[in-house]
């Protein structure tokens, strides 16, 4: 499947637009729940590199079922720089890619790309095997992309693992190319991409895939419903045992499901959400610190201030003064 087909289908989705440049095409997400961008750089016929920035819980995926297409597509090689993204295995179970991990798969998202932490930054390669074989035969001959796919994704499987030191070094160099001008970056993107393929193909020992640590659709659904409950009104407190009873599972199981999907314990995740909301209220309203503390579930202002300082390395009032100063300076 060609990248142009994916882009064409993507811009048919409400909330997604495109900005074309001389060397790239940028998909822009702008919805009520968040925003994001995916910038595509065609490097070789059949090989496209994308830089992904998302501040949203999800990004609607293009639908290819209306023309009889399968759920599989190009070989997708993803590197997570920051955040967490959701993948679906062949058996319908869910796995999660986190900071410093790569994934290789040929499976598209069912309906949407999901980012449980709402923040995601990463690199993704789209490799259209048919086009590579037909138009980039030298790439196929030198780097044997078919072998690479069979090595990491046998029988259409999904591979997830932390990167080796050598591979991480190449990926970080690719990531750093965002800081230089596009015409100068393209040749280096090509060089590092081929270096990455070579390293993946010639690893003496491939790290075992972590896709064996998976969660069922029911378990993921419970975790996401719990997240919605605890964040819908931050003034409320929901003990884990109470939530577990609501979903007829043990407290330990509930905590494991949540940690598996969101990568954090419930208490830590909720504290960060509360602090983020408090920071927003400090900079967008005239509410007092005590009023904001109550809004995010703290009856004790001292405990709130302590938690806030731990999160932002500044007291609530210091944080507000700093943000006001930054705003006035920029104006």
Q: pLDDT of 134-186, one tens digit each?
A: 888 888 888 888 888 889 988 888 999 999 999 999 999 999 998 888 888 99
| Res 194 pLDDT > 60 | yes
Which H or E element spans position 50? strand 47-55
Examine the pLDDT at 226 and tell me if it is beyond 90: yes
pLDDT at 141: 82
Name the more confident of 125 and 72.
125
* pLDDT (average), residues 107-124: 89
pLDDT digits (tens, 9 = 90+) for 83-103: 999 998 888 899 999 999 999
How far apart CA 88 and CA 158 sit, in angstroms, is: 9
| Better-scored residue on pLDDT, 33 or 257 | 257
Q: What is the pLDDT of residue 68?
A: 46
Contact 33, 58 (CB under 8 A): yes
pLDDT at 38 over 90: yes
Burial class (CB in 10 A: 0-12, 13-18, 19+), 271: middle
Q: Can you read off the two tokens belonging to residue 7?
A: 């882009």
For residue 18, what pLDDT is reported? 96
Residue 202 confidence (pLDDT) above 70: yes
The Cα–Cα gap between 247 and 244 comes to 5
What is the reported pLDDT for 234?
A: 96
């Amino acid at each position: 499947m060609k990248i142009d087909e994916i882009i064409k289908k993507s811009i048919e989705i409400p909330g997604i637009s495109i900005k074309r440049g001389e060397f790239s095409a940028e998909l822009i997400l702008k919805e009520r729940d968040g925003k994001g961008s995916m910038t595509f750089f065609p490097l070789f016929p059949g090989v496209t590199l994308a830089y992904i920035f998302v501040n949203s819980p999800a990004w609607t995926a293009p639908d290819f079922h209306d023309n009889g297409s399968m759920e599989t597509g190009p070989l997708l090689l993803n590197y997570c720089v920051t955040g967490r993204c959701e993948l679906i295995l062949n058996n319908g179970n869910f796995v999660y890619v986190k900071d410093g991990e790569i994934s290789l798969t040929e499976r598209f998202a069912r309906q949407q790309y999901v980012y449980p932490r709402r923040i995601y930054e990463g690199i993704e390669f789209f490799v259209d095997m048919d086009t590579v074989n037909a138009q980039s035969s030298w790439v196929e001959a030198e780097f044997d992309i078919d072998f690479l796919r069979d090595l990491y994704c046998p029988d259409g499987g999904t591979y997830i693992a932390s990167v080796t030191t050598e591979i991480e070094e190449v990926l970080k160099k690719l990531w750093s190319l965002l800081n230089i001008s596009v015409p100068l970056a393209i040749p280096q993107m090509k060089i590092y991409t081929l270096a990455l393929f070579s390293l993946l193909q010639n690893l003496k020992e491939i790290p075992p895939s972590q896709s064996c640590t998976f969660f069922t659709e029911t378990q993921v659904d419970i975790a996401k419903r719990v997240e919605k409950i605890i964040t819908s009104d931050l003034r409320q407190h929901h003990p884990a045992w109470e939530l577990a009873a609501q979903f007829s599972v043990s407290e330990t199981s509930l905590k494991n499901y949540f940690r598996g999907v969101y990568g954090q314990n419930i208490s830590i995740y909720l504290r960060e959400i509360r602090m983020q909301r408090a920071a927003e209220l400090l900079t967008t309203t005239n509410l007092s610190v005590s009023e904001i503390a109550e809004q995010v579930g703290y009856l004790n202002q001292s405990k709130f201030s302590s938690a806030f300082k731990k999160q932002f390395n500044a007291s609530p009032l210091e944080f507000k003064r700093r943000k006001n100063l930054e705003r006035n300076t920029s104006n």
